[in-house]
Structure 1
């Protein structure tokens, strides 16, 4: 009974022993191949083999005997479904085994283009816009990263690692963009980048869209606040009204009209010229800057002061007259 039990235990133990590791080594362990390029991979047996070879939809070698290595070689790889396997038959355990080649067949995109879904190149400050980057015919998409740039600044990245499709596909990446006035005149671009790892190209070509040059529109805004000025009658002054805005604002003045007051506009500013000012020119001069997005106003408060009279011109003649009168009275009394 005991002998029988021991025999069963030994049989069971031998059947549950660890499976020897497959004595095949593939070099390189991962092949990264551009669509249509040649590829060569070597498979070597680390123990004596009865025979070995490659199984593949393209470049299959069949069983080769009396060898310790076998090469998988394809002059132009175009099979997106290729899954080469190196197999070996051995005199000792494991009697048979195989290893799969980790292969990535890749293709750069045909085109990369950028468009705005709901507005082309003119954007209003503070509004959100949806930009779309179209990448045509790229593989494998799981290694794709779409980068968004404003000028030379990277502003967003999107990867597609969840998509394991091996054949070329078209993909669309979206960016929600909120512009401000500092972005006006800058260029937006998107770039398709294949990150194929250390086995892939280390300086892949830049597959970038044509730039989208943006103009940011915003309502007028004055850099300076309201202003109060004082002027002596007879003097002149220029009131300068200049606002930032896109598109350039138009200007309108509101003030008490007078013959010596004139306003004019040119380019991005407007002025009021007051010459030979009088106290009647005192008051408010309000400039309104307006474009399609709104308007804003700035007020100048002007005070024109009357000239002070020269008292000496009055006092001296009066004193002189008084002195003459006093002298005359004294002389008169002395004679009488």
Structure 2
């Protein structure tokens, strides 16, 4: 017997099972993509649910013909809602790996469907662009052909290209050659030092790509060299010092030695070195040498060396006379000042001019030379010694200075500052009397007590 019902506007129609749209069969995936691409290490979820208005049972996920549950999930877990008669089941991926790639199927028995229904999605997992094993600072010897490497990792394997400000052609370049092992730089020069960009492009799926860029620095190794290769001239006097500074360029940073030059390099005996100091900047060194013997006035050599070579620079130390004492006279002294008129030494210092003077001054009757006041002043004719005691006899001696150092001192001369006169003297006398009076009062008070 044929069942029927009345449809609007009153015609007879057949009662048939609910007909689903062609785009689903009673199951829905959220998200709904049939193909999904994820980066390794990420987490995500895919929900399979029975469509609204439908009834179903035996809702489950399978992969490779095996049902997914807590025991075989491979970092995949399930969440059923509600748990007793679920209408949705969530597939949870935690830290997805390439092992999780494949086709996943959600299945259920849907009321009104003659067979079990299925919805699937195809999961692709890729390993993103990884520069962890790329050496970001590389070095090449000058004059060599160097292969700069960029061992970028990823799955699918990224394609690598190079830039140095602008893209480097993959072929046909006179200086560079791009190949599977990296970037060859021909006949490396110091101009090739600097930053290079390693660009990695990775195709993910049919229409998606990843791109990353990493800077790689190139250091060019070269032997030591001096900017000024000419010999340097220095002066000293017997018993004085010579102070030499040596600086060379080179990579790796050069190490230094000092020696004499007698057709070849000869180390300076340690007994001849007063000391040797290195600047805080390790690219240069300083030698301070005590010229205690006339035989030491000769050519010295600074030798700079690294693993690629050696460079030498000559320093000629020429003996000059020690600066002679200056001629000086005194102007009329005041109570607190002495004026000194200085004339350059009668015997000049050869190629080295006088650059200044040193005065040493002490009170004659109650001062020792080791406690004397030292005053340095620049070259000139008149110099004033200030802040002195009034009516006091002073011993004074002077020495000349040139670029090499300080010369011998003159004979000691004596001069007396003037006494304080007028109102100043009266004030001083009153002050002295007041001090005596106060001392007497204190003494009397002490005796009384």
Q: Tell whether the structures are fold-level matches, with TM greater than 0.5.
A: no
Higher relative contact order (CA 8 A, sep 6+): 1
User: For this structure pair, what is the TM-score category when the shorter chain's length is used for normalisation?
Assistant: 0.3 to 0.5
Q: TM-score, normalised by structure 1?
A: 0.42
